[in-house]
């Protein structure tokens, strides 16, 4: 018959983590990197953090680089400085957002609702789900006839950078002509419109930034919209058809 004490001792040994496993667990949580990110977000140096925590700058440096393992007491001191719970350092981190949009994979689509179209566009963010801004490359075509672009407005903000050509922008009671290298940032809740102002196409990067509740802010020109966000796929003919005219 087995000795109860020996059985209990064997069970405890099975559940005890060896030092190497514990070290690997700590390394996987990247506690030092998390501390460093918190510190840099506050523009705080090691000496300043040391004053708040009572820990030396050299120790904090070793802690951030993973050369020493923090005790719970020391980790709690750091957490309190940044108003974080201890669980912050052990929770699984969400995957960092990183998406590349190759030029060969993008689709060039015409403006819908206007014949002939006054611009063509490419979505530069179609692969990013739940994005907080919509970047586009747009090429505005010189108008064959004089016509007034129809103003529009939407929640959020808008940023334009002119790569080439000339673009006429109207924002409320303001009007300006932007040339290559010019940029503009404006509140999109004010009626605004834009169109090619020169003999050559105007090539523009447009970024619309959302405002809660999150929704696609759609740049428009001459009475039609660019497409709404496609959350799962790259732009295609279906997405083009979704761009409804004003």
pLDDT for the residue numbered 25: 67
Residues 121 and 231 placed together within one structural domain of the fold: yes
Token pair in block for residue 147? 């016509």
Instruction: Supply the pLDDT for residue 11.
Output: 54
% pLDDT > 70, the chain = 72
Q: What is the count of structural domains for the chain?
A: 2
Place of tokens 């759609």: 218
Q: What is the length of the chain?
A: 246
Distance from C-alpha of 194 to C-alpha of 21, rounded to nearest angstrom: 61
Looking at the fold, whether 85 and 36 belong to one and the same domain comes out as yes
The verdict on residue 108 lying in a domain is yes
pLDDT in tens, 48-81: 999 999 999 999 999 998 888 888 899 999 999 9
Same domain, yes or no: 112 and 229: yes
pTM: 0.53
Q: Do residues 154 and 217 lie in contact, with contact meaning Cβ atoms separated by under 8 Å?
A: yes
Are 83 and 11 in the same domain? Answer: yes
Does 235 have pLDDT greater than 60? no
Dump pLDDT digits (tens) for 21-52.
666 766 667 888 889 989 998 889 999 999 99
Alpha-carbon torsion 225, 231, 232, 234, what sign?
positive
Run of H or E residues at 196? strand 192-196
Confidence of residue 114 (pLDDT cuts 50, 70, 90): confident
Q: Are residues 53 and 18 in the same domain?
A: yes
Contact 165, 202 (CB under 8 A): yes
Residues 218, 111 within the same domain: yes
226/113 same-domain check: yes
**What CATH number is attached to the domain comprising 137?**
2.60.120.10
What is the predicted pLDDT for the residue at 128?
A: 82
Which of 79, 163, 82 is CA-nearest to residue 122? 163
- Can you give the pLDDT at residue 221? 38
Instruction: Specify whether the CB–CB gap between 139 and 119 falls below 8 A.
Output: yes
- d(CA 1, CA 74) in angstroms, rounded, equals 47
């Amino acid at each position: 018959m087995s000795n109860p004490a020996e059985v209990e001792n064997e069970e405890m040994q099975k559940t005890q983590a060896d030092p190497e496993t514990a070290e690997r667990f700590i390394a996987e949580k990247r506690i030092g990197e998390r501390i460093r990110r918190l510190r840099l977000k506050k523009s705080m140096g090691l000496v300043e953090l040391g004053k708040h925590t009572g820990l030396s700058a050299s120790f904090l440096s070793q802690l951030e680089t993973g050369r020493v393992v923090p005790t719970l007491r020391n980790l709690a001191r750091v957490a309190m400085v940044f108003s974080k719970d201890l669980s912050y350092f052990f929770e699984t981190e969400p995957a960092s957002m990183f998406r590349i949009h190759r030029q060969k994979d993008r689709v060039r689509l015409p403006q819908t609702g206007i014949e002939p179209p006054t611009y063509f566009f490419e979505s530069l963010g179609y692969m990013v789900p739940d994005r907080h801004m919509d970047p586009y490359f747009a090429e505005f075509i010189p108008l064959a006839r004089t016509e007034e672009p129809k103003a529009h407005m939407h929640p959020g903000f808008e940023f334009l950078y002119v790569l080439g050509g000339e673009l006429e922008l109207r924002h409320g009671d303001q009007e300006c002509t932007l040339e290559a290298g010019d940029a503009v940032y404006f509140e999109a809740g004010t009626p605004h419109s834009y169109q090619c102002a020169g003999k050559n196409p105007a090539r523009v990067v447009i970024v619309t930034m959302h405002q809660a509740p999150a929704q696609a802010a759609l740049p428009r020109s001459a009475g039609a919209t660019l497409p709404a966000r496609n959350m799962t796929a790259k732009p295609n003919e279906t997405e083009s058809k979704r761009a409804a005219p004003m």
